[in-house]
Amino acid sequence: MTAAQAWTCYAGDWRADQPVAWLRFDAAAWKNGAVPRYFYSRTARHQRITLTAVDANGTLRSRSYAEAEGEAFAAGPVFRLALPDITPDTRMIIARIERPHSIPLLTEARLIRHSESAARTQLEMMVLAIVLGMLVLPLLFDFNFFLVLQERFVLFHALMVTGMMGYVLFAGGLISAFVTLPVALLAVLAPLSWAIGCGAALLFLSGFLEPAALAPKVRRFMFWAGCWTIAVPGLFSLQLHATQSFDDLAYFVSITPAAFIVCFGIAHALLRGSRSARFIAVAWAPLIAASMERLARGLGLHSGPSSLDLMMFVATGIEVVIISLAIADRFLAIRQERDAALTEAKMLEQISARDSLTGLMNRRAIEARFDELLTQGFDTFALVDLDRFKAINDLHGHQVGDAALIACAGALRASGDRDAVAVRLGGEEFVVLLRGPRSLERAEALRQAIPIRIAAEVPGLQLPVTASMGVVVVEEAGRQAMAFAEFYARADALMYEAKAAGRNRLAYERLTVFRSAPAARQSSADRAA
């Protein structure tokens, strides 16, 4: 074991699926004769690491560490272990790593004299802190946007940002500058954050792009691919010792399709002319490139220092800025769409609630609002019917008849009485709801104004067009005891009494308790002069 020829070492075909991995560090490689004091490597789950110093005469000195004894420090996502005593005769250090769960645990292992020599530069730590601070703003935006939009994609973006923040903290090693966490926990949280971020990116993309940007099948596929990416790689990121023989490869194999699905989804949306996809393509291109490099290292296709992860963090910062602009742009687009939809809905509501000929409220609208109007104090129900209206249509035609109806509507609303609501029920029937003092006298004034208005606006009529009116006045105690149909039935009976008495008059009754014996009815024979 002490002879160099007994070892076969080369920088390739790294494997993390074996029960034990061996690393050898020759004393000849120690720079300027600086004797190392620590073994350090990327945080990853393992069972035990045994470090052995081998002297020229075959003397062995060993230190063995359980996983929990590793010391994380602020030099990136790394931990360190103290070496056994090293003498001038020491020729090599051998590291025996039991149940390694990650190839970078092997490829990035080093011997150092001082922790500072492995630490990130101040610039690197500043970049990480800036990126982390930038990630806080999108979370605030997401909170505000969700309050306004109530869109699910905003929650998915918040989840994606949370995953990114976790990756910066744990994979970047920034968390170790503030608190010391167990190596096993750091080793799990970093890949778990990445899996959550990648899966949430797919969920976000499936909901964020415009409705026409993705075919329904593609949108559903991306959604379930996002769920898969959170669940399956997330499970393998736990690095359970029972899955040690395959979880490292399984993690990267199961998470790799996410990058290709994202690229496919963006390309699919771009071909469909999606504006939002343009923002995402620019924002995610650097992040996808950095992710693929990280995947290649994770799969052992090439080795490199953990400082390469800085590309991922810089790409994350770029993504934050552009995606925030994209969400703001989408927010404005959705607000415009909703405002247009609300405007159209209000217009349709107005159209459905208004009589197309006279512009008055129609029967459908008044029935819907009747209880509300009663509550507001509209206690007088006046039913108006034009006398001998059929004769006008027969003698002068329907166009003249329509003009008479329009003039009648104008008379009912011309008074400017804010405590009167005019409605056209259909044909030559109108309803006026009134509230306030002297409602009966005001109703009669409206009735008398009808023939004057028609005579002024519809010339050529042989006879004046008069109106008969049936009025129900409700006392305070009786409000809301009857429905619209019951009011209408009583007013209709009164209106026919007015017609039977010679037309061009008003008949009314006062009610204090509904469904009681009818009160004495009175009539007035106020004929138009």
Residues of the domain holding 479: 361-524
Q: Which of 316-330, 452-466, 512-526 has the lowest mean pLDDT?
A: 512-526
Q: Pairing between strand 20-26 and 522-524?
A: unpaired
Mean local confidence (pLDDT), 142-146: 77
pTM over 0.75: no
Shared domain check, 328 and 278: yes
Instruction: Confirm if 115 and 73 have CB atoms less than 8 A apart.
Output: yes
Q: Are residues 276 and 131 in the same domain?
A: yes
Same domain, 161 and 294: yes
Q: At which residue do the structure tokens 């771009």 appear?
A: 270
Question: Is 269 within a domain?
Answer: yes
| Cβ within 8 Å of residue 465, ≥6 positions away | 386, 387, 388, 389, 392, 404, 408, 450, 451, 454, 455, 458
Q: Which residue, of 51, 83, 117, is where some domain finishes?
A: 117
Domain CATH code at residue 498 = 3.30.70.270
Indicate whether 92 and 140 sit together in one domain. Answer: no
- On whether both 69 and 161 belong to a single domain, the answer is no
Classify residue 110: in a domain, yes or no. yes
Report the number of distinct structural domains present in the chain.
3
* Whether residues 78 and 172 fall in one domain: no
337 and 391 housed in the same domain: no
Flag whether 448 is in a domain. yes
Give the domain CATH number at 74. 2.60.120
Average pLDDT score, the chain: 83
The per-residue pLDDT for range 301-328, each reduced to its tens digit, is 666 665 666 777 777 777 777 877 777 7
CATH of the domain at 291: 1.20.1070
Torsion of the alpha carbons at 382, 388, 389 and 391, rounded to the nearest 10: 180
Say if 207 falls within a structural domain: yes
Per-residue model confidence as pLDDT tens digits over 186-232: 889 989 998 998 999 999 889 888 888 889 999 999 999 999 999 99
The answer to whether the CB of 309 falls within 8 A of the CB of 193 is: no
Side-chain-facing half-sphere of 243: CA atoms under 13 Å:
14
Q: Are residues 104 and 153 in the same domain?
A: no
Q: Are residues 281 and 365 in the same domain?
A: no
Neighbours of 211 (CB within 10 A): 8
Q: Do the domain assignments include residue 353?
A: no
Spatial distance between the Cα atoms of 393 and 469, rounded to a whole number of angstroms: 21
Per-residue pLDDT at 150: 76
**Position 92 in a domain:** yes
Same domain for 333 and 441: no
Which of 344, 379, 400 is at the close of a domain? 344
